[in-house]
Each structure stands twice: as C-alpha cells, then as structure tokens.
Amino acid sequence: MSLTINDVTIFADGVDHAECVCVHPDGAVWAGGEAGQIYRISPDGSEIKEISNTGGFTLGIAFSPNAEWLAVCDLANHCVWKLDIASNTLEKFADGAEGENFNVPNYPAFDSKGRLYVSDSGGFRKVIGKVFRFEPDGTGQIWHKGPFNFTNGLALSKNEDYLYVVCTWLPGVERVAINPDGSAGKREVYVTIPQSCPDGIAFDEDENLYIGCYTPNAIYKVNTKQEITLLVDDWEAHTLTNPTNLAFGGENFDQLFTSNLGRWHISKIDVKANGLKLVGNR
C-alpha cells in the first residue's frame, strides 16, 4: 500500500542536517548533526537536547544491547565513538582494524551478542567499501573486504543470519550470509533501485525492508519475495528532504522515523506496520 505525503509529519524541528536517527527503549529519538552534535529528542518530539558533541560530523548511530552505550560513526574524525549513556562520557571506540584505518565509517549495527558491524563507505565513486566487525571489548576485524560500491546503512535480519548492506552507487541493497561460526558467507544483490541514492534501511516484524533514498526523496518497501514498491515520496522535498537513516519507534513501535540531511527536522511516517526491534530497543 502506497502512502501519501499526508502520512508523513515533521516530528521535531531544529537539528543540524541530521544524517542519522535511532530510538531508545524509553521512546526518545536520538539523532546527530553535521557539526558533531548528538541529540536526544523527547518521545513526543517537543524537546531537543544536545547530549554530546564529537567535534566532527555525525553519521550513523546505534544503541548497544540494553542501550548501555551509543555507537557513533564520525566522518570527520574517521572513527567510531562510544557514548556511555549513564555517565554521558564520550570515548573513542575504534578507528579501524587489522592495520587498516577507517576511510568513511558510515553506519553501526549491533547483534544480540553485542558485536558491532560498521560499514566503511570507502570513498566517493570508488568501489572500495568494506564491513568491519568489533567485539564488545573493541577488538576488531575486517569482516567482509568487499569491495562494495559505497557501503552505507546496515541491518541484521530477524534471525541474524544475514547482514543487509546498502550500496549507494549500486544503487541498491546487497546481503551477506552470516555463517554459523560468525564469518561472512555468500554475498548477493538483494534489490536494485535505478536512478536513486539509497542510504538507510530498517525491517518491520514481517521482514519487509524499508529503504530511505537521499534522492529522489523517497522511501521504498521490499517484501520477502524481493518485490519493491514505492512507499511514499515527496517531489517537493519539504517533508522528506534527502531522507537518509530510518528507525522504527513510537508508542506502538509502528512509526518510521527518518532523518533529513537536506534540512533541520526529523520526519515521522505512519507506516501501519510494527517495526522489528533492534537489540538496543528491547
């Protein structure tokens, strides 16, 4: 079912060109800014508070299991930060692994064991993207060497048997099987979206995949048969303005939040489907 722009509202206005969005178990929506800001937005969207600042450019963010800390990808500082939620202390978590530093650490995704996958986009129009993985203690590895065509958003499947990887200039989404021993398995193209720039992804409970596209200001939905439909678009680019990362939240966990890199607000979409809870939402 396609939605109209009337199903999309501005949830909160006053963030600095947010690339990222995620949801805390208490219902608060978190986002980042292009000057390193890390924001907490109250569950009703009425209050925006800058919690911390990396001094860089905040890309993807994700909560660890039990939401004890927030992983923060930083474009300018080429690292992943660890923001302790209880103490509000920020420290560097990783700047690479196996002798390779991050080029563009773009998006973090935790599994149920607390391991952190991080996409490294590589470079503009360079097919050199890869995926790193880190243990809870910070030791890491290059989990998949790629090369991917600008690795971007990540999402684990419901059973954690696949890692879905946005490849912006594919353009589309690939997926990599996760072997029983945790290593990377078969890699395949899951869906392509011609003439688009996909950025962020999120699953609902029925394993439909939602894809935010920086251009053409649209959200797509892919069912388990890998059939793609347009969920909603905004040709005016007023309410969906270069949408990037996606996250489910809301009182019934059936609202899809999206950051808008082109403006200063977070959008909320009534998708009428329950989101798949991430380990940091539980």
Tokens describing residue 207: 């394993």
What pLDDT score does 282 carry? 83
Considering the segment(s) 5-270 as one domain, its CATH architecture is: 6 Propeller (2.120)
What pLDDT score does 2 carry? 83
Output the tens digit of pLDDT for each of the chain's 282 residues.
689 999 999 999 999 999 999 999 999 999 999 999 999 999 999 999 999 999 999 999 999 999 999 999 999 999 999 999 999 999 999 999 999 999 999 999 999 999 999 999 999 999 999 999 999 999 999 999 999 999 999 999 999 999 999 999 999 999 999 999 999 999 999 999 999 999 999 999 999 999 999 999 999 999 999 999 999 999 999 999 999 999 999 999 999 999 999 999 999 999 999 999 999 998
What pLDDT score does 222 carry? 99
Tokens describing residue 252: 């019934």
